[in-house]
Amino acid sequence: MLLLFGNKIVKTEILAQNGTLLTSAERNFIFPKNLDSSEESILIIKGNELPELDRGTSVVIIAYSKAGDRIKYSGEISMSHDRQMNVSILKSNSTQVLEERRRYFKIKVSLSGRALFVVRDEQTIRFEEPVAIGVNDINVGGIFMTSDFEFLKDDCVCVDIELIGGYRLNTMARVLRVQAGSGGEILGYGCAFENLTAAQEDAIGKYINHQQLLQRAKQNGEDG
């Protein structure tokens, strides 16, 4: 059974088998925490004028995590009336992460970091001293970084970036594109993270939320 790796669920959608949206909820729902057990796992949604479905109706559940993941589950209606819907999540191999690069929230930042080494054509390039990098934007999928070192497309870079609370993000990032200016100068590198752990995804999600709150507070102060 595929789990959400501890990421908080911020939205759920219930779809019919043909893909029609039946209902969605960004609040007033309880997502089960026992997906890894043999007990029945029930998603509970409360509201007004919910669709009334027959018990046993097959549905699709899309769960959105705070870190930006969308995970698809198969489910069956166990109870349904206009004010509450209970959906039993089926524990099967049909559970899957929906691949969609644009699902990630991206924010502009000004972070400093280090490149510790580079894997290029299966050869490891180790630096005598870590190479300085700047991070101009970040999301759970990757970063756009700048550096005086000339990276190449498909380089896999070990980056070390300090986020908040002293947390250091140390992970591999693959260079997907080398962005050049009109004069041919390199402006930076678009990179995708590779094999993030659950803790790393959660840390990035928390950092993005923290930065968004700061930006909103600044905007509200300027508006006032």
Residue found under tokens 């990757």: 142
Our count of domains for the chain comes to: 2
One domain, residues 86 and 115: no
pLDDT bracket for residue 64 (50, 70, 90): confident
Q: What is the CATH number of the domain that holds 84?
A: 2.40.10
Domain boundary residue, one of 102, 123, 158 = 102
One domain, residues 161 and 207: yes
One domain, residues 110 and 86: no
Domain that holds residue 81: 9-102
Total-model pTM: 0.54
Report if residue 163 sits inside a domain: yes
Domain boundary residue, one of 102, 125, 156 = 102
pLDDT at 100: 44
Average pLDDT of span 79-87: 95
Which residue in 121, 117, 120, 143 sits closest to 131, CA to CA?
Answer: 117
Q: What is the CATH number of the domain that holds 162?
A: 2.40.10.220
Tell me the three state secondary structure of residue 6: coil
Transcribe 97-164 into DSSP letters: EPP-GGGS--EEEEEEEEEEEEEETTEEEEEEEEEEEEEEEE-SSEEEEEESS---TT-EEEEEEE-S
One domain, residues 112 and 178: yes
User: If you average pLDDT over every residue of the chain, what do you get?
Assistant: 86
Is the pLDDT at 61 greater than 50? The verdict is yes
One domain, residues 123 and 89: no
- The residue count of the chain comes to 224
Q: 139 vs 5, 136, 171, CA distance in Å? A: 18, 11, 14
